Amino acid sequence: MNERLGFVVRRDRADQTIEGIRAVEEAGIGTAWTIMAGAGRDTPTLFAAAAMRTERVKLGTGIVPAFTRHPIGLAGQALTLHDLAPGRLRLGIGTSHAPVMRDALHLPFDRPLERLSEYLRVLRPALQTGKVEFAGEFYRVNVTLVGSAPETPVLIAALRPNAFELAGRLSDGAISWLCPVPYLLDVARPALERGAAAAGRPAPPLVAAIQVMPEPNRETVRESTRRSYGRYAQLPFYAAMFAAAGYPVPDGRLSDDLIDAIVVSGDDDAIGEQLQRLLVQGLDELMIGLVPGPDPLAEEARLLGILGRV
């Protein structure tokens, strides 16, 4: 299994997603990642079923919107998944976004990073030691888990330097999304290392989400990317990151230059070579997402074949 590669499985139904996870395992890719919407199918539940149909592939939540459930509730789900697939869960969590958490679900969303920091201070000890005593502003917990601590790694979604610093201080890794590679190398990684140094520990891995389309025509790639990912330019967290990376989106639209910076494309050999270069440039791990075209299942199979040769 190539532990430095992961693949984002995006299917319409849970049973189809499980088949996609099985395909990732068969391709020899280290982690099958899934994306969970704030009001969508529950990834931990899906992974319980996937654990029964797979043997080796790691199962990564990229991400569970943390504030939709108590950290001890999520720890209980992780404990169950560890029983079913020992050592295979990679628990990615994040704040999500104001339009989902505040406007749609009417959950508290003030100071999201401070809330996430406390969430980590509850969740990680629960998973690492099985016992938590914590009294903060947002969470108060005094509990011992029933069962052995699964030692499940907890990663967090990060876009801006303060989030990467938080990942370095308190988490087992940072997960990016739609970040240009120079931004990851020049801004995100140093922030991750600063956070780790402040905590007196080695920097955890940076999992770089890289979008890929097996298509040599760049205009087709740009059109497909805007269709699938254009909404991100209208989310404040992403707009701020794009601007900091040198690709502002004042009109709420992904520019050609920005798309060229976040999407790898070309024929099979060109894609393989570009991904190899990213790994040697200093990215710890790649989380590959497909930019879908007219036949997503065939394109996914083709991309898995490419990744199996990287």
pLDDT of residue 198: 98
pLDDT of residue 98: 79
Mean pLDDT along residues 279-289: 94
- Over residues 71-102, the pLDDT tens digits come to 999 999 999 999 999 999 999 999 987 788 88
Q: pTM value?
A: 0.96
pLDDT of residue 103: 82
pLDDT above 90: residue 187: yes
pLDDT above 80: residue 105: no
d(CA 251, CA 141): 44
C-alpha dist (Å) from residue 193 to 43, 167, 267:
30, 9, 35
Mean pLDDT along residues 251-264: 97
Residue 166 token pair = 């938080």
What residues are paired with 141 via a beta bridge? Answer: 134
pLDDT above 80: residue 308: yes
C-alpha dist (Å) from residue 159 to 19, 44, 234:
30, 24, 15
Contact indicator for 175, 63 with CB cutoff of 8 Å: yes
pLDDT of residue 99: 80
For 232, which DSSP code?
G
Mean pLDDT along residues 178-192: 98
What residues are paired with 60 via a beta bridge? Answer: 33, 90
Q: Are strands 140-144 and 131-135 parallel, antiparallel or unpaired?
A: antiparallel
d(CA 210, CA 196): 24
Q: Where are the domains of the chain?
A: 219-264
